[in-house]
Amino acid sequence: MPTSQKIMWIGVAVVAAAIIALAYFLFLAPPGEKAQTFITDASAPAVPPSPPAAAREAEDDPAIVPLDLDLEQSDAAVRELVGEQEVPAALRGWLRQKDLVRTVVAVVDAIARGDSPAPLLPFLAPTDKFQVMEKDGELRADPKGFRRFEPLVNAFTAVPDRTWITWYRTLRPTLEKAFRELGYPGVTFARRLRQAGEQLLQTPRFTERIALERKIMSYAFADPGLEALTPAQKHMLRLGPGNAERVRKKLRALAAQLKAGGEKE
């Protein structure tokens, strides 16, 4: 779970996503849905090493002390960092998970590729099941089912933008270290985070009327365009229009603040 980098589109809901992602969060697909792969930027040109960037950022904001933690011992430090702030109770509950930094990195990487991070976040599974309804001879997603994601979206949006950014900048050296374990040559976690945010923000807007088709073990979107979306984007759709718009607004606000601060990948 998650100093100097470019637009961190995905909100560290993904820093601790902060420990998630949003990070957020939204990521449980009906059984039987197959993952699609988003383009992986494994051939990106080499980028400057993160330590000098971290040092420059520390000079710009003396209150932020970048932490290059031992990944095997990082959970306690992450919990302490987050615990210093007033955060939603749900977020504190998520912090009881283990291997927080590696989990956040893996979640961000999955979303950037368009895959579902649900297998990495079983503790975020909604307690209620996916609901459908039939109206005018059409099978639709039941708007009541969107409520099952509200606790996750509420927790993500309740944390102030500045707090998310401070957590991210503080933990970036450790996040970059965990990301290097995945073996992408010439790609930073900062870039991967931006790609994950772009993946979610490219999800089309929609109304509460989402027509479905019944499959053997699950449901598919009746609209071929929606069904062709990546699993990560389909999760955004399942949040419901209100929740999805709140997530978009938060992501854009975080990206704007980092861009204004001269963040670089």
**pLDDT for position 264:** 61
**pLDDT for position 17:** 39
Q: Would you place residue 60 in the very low, low, confident or very high pLDDT band (cuts 50, 70, 90)?
A: low
List Cβ neighbours of 30 (8 Å cut-off, separation of 6 or more): 130, 217, 218, 219
**pLDDT for position 103:** 94
Amino acid, single-letter form, for residue 157: T
Weakest mean pLDDT among 72-76, 164-168, 216-220: 216-220
**pLDDT for position 262:** 59
% of the chain exceeding 70 in pLDDT = 74
- By CB neighbour count within 10 A (0-12 exposed, 13-18 middle, 19+ buried), where does 263 fall? buried
The model's pLDDT over 103-118, given as tens digits with 9 standing for 90+, comes to 999 999 999 999 998 8
Burial of 225-236, coded b for 16+ CB within 10 Å and e otherwise, reads: ebeebbbbbbbb
Q: What are phi and psi of 9, to 5 degrees?
A: -55, -40
**pLDDT for position 114:** 95
Weakest mean pLDDT among 12-26, 59-73, 79-93, 207-221: 12-26
The model's pLDDT over 217-263, given as tens digits with 9 standing for 90+, comes to 788 999 999 999 999 999 898 889 999 999 999 989 988 887 776 56
Q: How big is the chain, counted in residues?
A: 265
Residue 14 has pLDDT above 70, yes or no: no
**pLDDT for position 261:** 61
Residue 24 has pLDDT above 50, yes or no: no
The model's pLDDT over 118-137, given as tens digits with 9 standing for 90+, comes to 888 888 877 777 788 888 88
Q: How far apart are CA 21 and CA 61, in angstroms?
A: 25
Q: Would you place residue 57 in the very low, low, confident or very high pLDDT band (cuts 50, 70, 90)?
A: very low
What does the domain layout of the chain look like in residue ranges?
Answer: 11-260
Q: What are phi and psi of 24, to 5 degrees?
A: 100, 15
**pLDDT for position 211:** 87
Residue 177 has pLDDT above 70, yes or no: yes
Q: Would you place residue 210 in the very low, low, confident or very high pLDDT band (cuts 50, 70, 90)?
A: confident
Asked if residue 265 lies in contact with residue 53, where contact means CB atoms within 8 angstroms, the answer is no
Residue 71 has pLDDT above 60, yes or no: yes
